[in-house]
């Protein structure tokens, strides 16, 4: 699992770097403008479909279900299940895409009534361009889920890289002529080449690509029942972005763009410490539970949480301390002016407060998914997400974009604590005392190092300030870990460094 997590963490880190380039090109070409708001709003309908079909719902549910089928019924039954799910989900994705494409205009008008007629028309046009990408996400997600269940993670690592490269290519090559539409066309092409294309490439010779449309199949019905709470329920990991779009539209031109520019930077430590580790952990959790190796599973769950939350906290502290320099380096050029960087940096610092909870939530729900228990965590997450709406409304009205970011921090913190508490109550793990001790030690290291770095007399230029400040923060964190870090946090850091050193000569 460590090797898979490192591969995915490296992929996610590179993907986030490409994501910074992607957002930088968007800022350069479009800036913090109504067109940028329309671009981000155009992903709302596709994101809803993606959430139901590919963005975690079907693929996350499929890994433990497929693993149990292979363990208990044999390889042939697993292959039949794979072909049935792939073919049936593909047809459903195609039909849903066509339906939403036709209804895009009234759906956009319903969700974004504050947009003017021209901005709504642009949002509809962009929505219809990116909608078919969800077919690639849905089918590619199923293929990659089976590959991961067999221990193959390369397409999972490559998919986001190619997707981001597609958007960048669309922005550089097409945006000068087509405006923000160039980015949408890049997203469409990147989706078919990345999430779907890489999965098909890695599956050659490893997995059969038979398609079977059988929505009435007994195994498919059981699988849909298992996945149903993930399709119908929501958590703050998903709806926090939706709330920023829906409520941010009332805060003036460029508000949605500012929130998303900051969010993309915050998601780098979340993706590396949370998403990559959680993705690699789910097949391992599922295998141990299917083989009834409970003690090994509980030890792995706790150590995974300690490692990911600790490293995520340290990374978030560095991003928060260097937020102004990071925003300047990534975004300030072209249509994105220096004055636009100030609110984005402030939002980035607020978002960083939520990183430990984001990481803990992503791994904590896997403790349920690996058991095939989807209803309880999604029911809990849905209730918290709905109860949080008044908080977003109140803080958004009183404090603008900073209020929306703060609402997200508070809500995801409650969600993560409730999820881990429920897991402990129902399953007896993870050990919350040990996890809290690691998190508090990491927070102390990150807090002291971050405050000290923010007060250093850094160079005036953004790039030297980022280099010097980053080195200073790393050294201060190392000293803090030596003094305050517990064994899991030190071992995680040293283990990561050892793996990187071993891989460096091979990659060179």
* pLDDT the model gives residue 118: 92
pLDDT band at 184 (very low <50, low <70, confident <90, very high): very high
Average pLDDT over every residue of 271-292: 78
pLDDT at position 154 is 83
Q: What's the pLDDT tens digit per position in 41-59? A: 999 899 888 777 645 555 6
CB contact set of 467 (below 8 Å; sequence gap of 6+): none
Report the alpha-carbon distance of residue 130 to residue 123 in Å, rounded: 11
Instruction: Please state the rounded mean pLDDT for residues 83-106.
Output: 92
Q: What is the pLDDT of residues 317-369, one digit of tens each?
A: 999 999 999 999 888 887 888 888 999 999 999 999 999 999 999 899 888 88
**H/E run at residue 252:** none
Question: What mean pLDDT do residues 433-448 have?
Answer: 92
Of 1-10, 309-318, 447-456, the one with minimum mean pLDDT is 1-10
455 exposure class (CB count in 10 Å sphere: 0-12, 13-18, 19+): exposed
Q: How high is the mean pLDDT of the chain?
A: 86
Mean pLDDT of 384-400: 95
Q: Is the peptide bond before 430 cis (omega within 30 degrees of 0)?
A: yes
Of 248-252, 331-335, 442-446, which gets the smallest average pLDDT?
A: 331-335
Tell me which of 193-202, 306-315, 489-498 is least confident: 489-498
How many H-runs (helices) and E-runs (strands) does the chain carry? 25, 0
Asked whether residue 395 carries a pLDDT value surpassing 80, the answer given is yes
Which residue has better confidence, 473 or 204? 473
- What percent of the chain clears pLDDT 90, i.e. is strictly above it? 42
What tokens appear for 34 in the block?
């109504």
Residue from 109, 110, 129 nearest 118 by CA:
109
pLDDT of residue 507: 45
pLDDT at 508: 45
Q: What angle do CA 239, 158, 36 make, to 5 degrees?
A: 45
Residue 109 pLDDT more than 80?
yes
Give every CB contact of residue 319 below 8 A, 6+ residues apart in sequence: 265, 266, 268, 269, 326, 348, 352
pLDDT band at 468 (very low <50, low <70, confident <90, very high): very high
pLDDT reported for residue 125 = 95
Beta-carbon-side half-sphere exposure of residue 496 (alpha carbons within 13 Å): 17
Instruction: Give me the residue label for tokens 């963490």.
Output: 9
pLDDT, average across residues 87-91: 89
For tokens 């490893």, name the residue: 206
Output the six-digit token pair for 491. 């071992």
Determine the pLDDT at residue 238.
78
Mean pLDDT of 437-448: 92
pLDDT at 19: 77
pLDDT on residue 126: 96
DSSP 275: I
Q: Does residue 477 carry a pLDDT above 60?
A: yes
Contact 323, 349 (CB under 8 A): yes
Q: Minimal CA–CA distance to 38: which of 105, 94, 96, 115? A: 115
Integer CA distances (angstroms), 379 to 113, 213, 415, 422, in order: 30, 30, 11, 12
Res 411 pLDDT > 90: yes
Q: How confident is the model at residue 65 (pLDDT cuts 50, 70, 90)?
A: confident
Among 95-99, 270-274, 360-364, whose mean pLDDT is lowest? 270-274
User: 233: pLDDT confidence band, cut at 50, 70 and 90?
Assistant: low
pLDDT at 500 over 60: no
Range in 6-20, 75-89, 246-260, 314-328 the model is least confident about: 6-20
């Amino acid at each position: 699992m460590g090797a898979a997590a490192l591969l995915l963490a490296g992929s996610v880190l590179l993907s986030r770097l490409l994501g910074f380039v992607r957002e930088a090109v968007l800022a350069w070409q479009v800036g913090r403008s109504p067109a940028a708001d329309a671009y981000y709003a155009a992903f709302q309908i596709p994101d809803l479909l993606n959430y139901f079909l590919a963005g975690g719902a079907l693929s996350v549910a499929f890994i433990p279900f497929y693993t149990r089928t292979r363990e208990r019924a044999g390889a042939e039954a697993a292959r039949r299940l794979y072909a049935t799910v792939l073919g049936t989900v593909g047809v459903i994705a195609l039909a849903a895409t066509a339906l939403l494409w036709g209804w895009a205009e009234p759906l956009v008008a319903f969700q974004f009534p504050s947009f003017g007629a021209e901005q709504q028309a642009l949002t509809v046009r962009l929505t219809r361009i990116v909608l078919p990408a969800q077919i690639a996400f849905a089918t590619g997600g199923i293929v990659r889920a089976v590959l991961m269940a067999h221990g193959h993670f390369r397409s999972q690592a490559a998919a986001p890289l190619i997707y981001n490269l597609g958007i960048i290519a669309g922005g550089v090559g097409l945006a000068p002529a087509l405006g923000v539409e160039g980015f949408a066309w890049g997203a469409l092409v990147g989706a078919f080449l990345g999430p779907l294309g890489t999965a098909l490439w890695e599956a050659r010779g490893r997995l059969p690509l038979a398609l079977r449309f059988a929505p009435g199949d007994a195994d498919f019905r059981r699988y849909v029942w298992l996945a149903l709470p993930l399709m119908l329920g929501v958590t703050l990991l998903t709806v926090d972005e939706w709330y920023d779009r829906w409520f941010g539209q009332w805060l003036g031109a460029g508000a949605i763009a500012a929130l998303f520019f900051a969010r993309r930077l915050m998601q780098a430590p979340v993706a590396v410490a949370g998403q990559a580790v959680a993705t690699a952990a789910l097949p391992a959790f599922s295998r141990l539970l299917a083989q009834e190796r409970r003690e090994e599973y509980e030890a792995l769950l706790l150590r995974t949480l300690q490692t990911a939350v600790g490293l995520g906290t340290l990374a978030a502290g560095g991003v928060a301390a260097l937020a102004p320099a990071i925003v300047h380096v990534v975004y300030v050029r072209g249509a994105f002016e220096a004055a636009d960087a100030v609110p984005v940096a402030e939002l980035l610092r607020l978002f960083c407060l939520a990183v430990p909870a984001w990481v803990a939530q992503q791994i904590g729900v896997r403790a349920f998914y690996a058991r095939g228990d989807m209803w309880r965590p999604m029911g809990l997450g849905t209730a918290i997400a709905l109860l949080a709406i008044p908080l977003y409304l109140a803080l958004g009205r009183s404090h603008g974009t900073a209020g929306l970011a703060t609402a997200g921090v508070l809500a995801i913190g409650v969600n993560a604590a409730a999820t881990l508490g429920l897991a402990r109550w129902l399953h007896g793990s993870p050990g919350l005392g040990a996890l809290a001790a690691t998190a508090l030690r990491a927070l102390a290291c990150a807090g002291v190092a971050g405050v000290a770095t923010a007060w250093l007399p850094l160079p005036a230029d953004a790039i030297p300030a980022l280099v010097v400040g980053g080195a200073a923060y790393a050294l201060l964190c190392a000293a803090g870990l030596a003094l305050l870090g517990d064994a899991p946090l030190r071992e995680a850091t040293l283990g990561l460094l050892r793996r990187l050193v071993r891989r460096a000569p091979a990659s060179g």
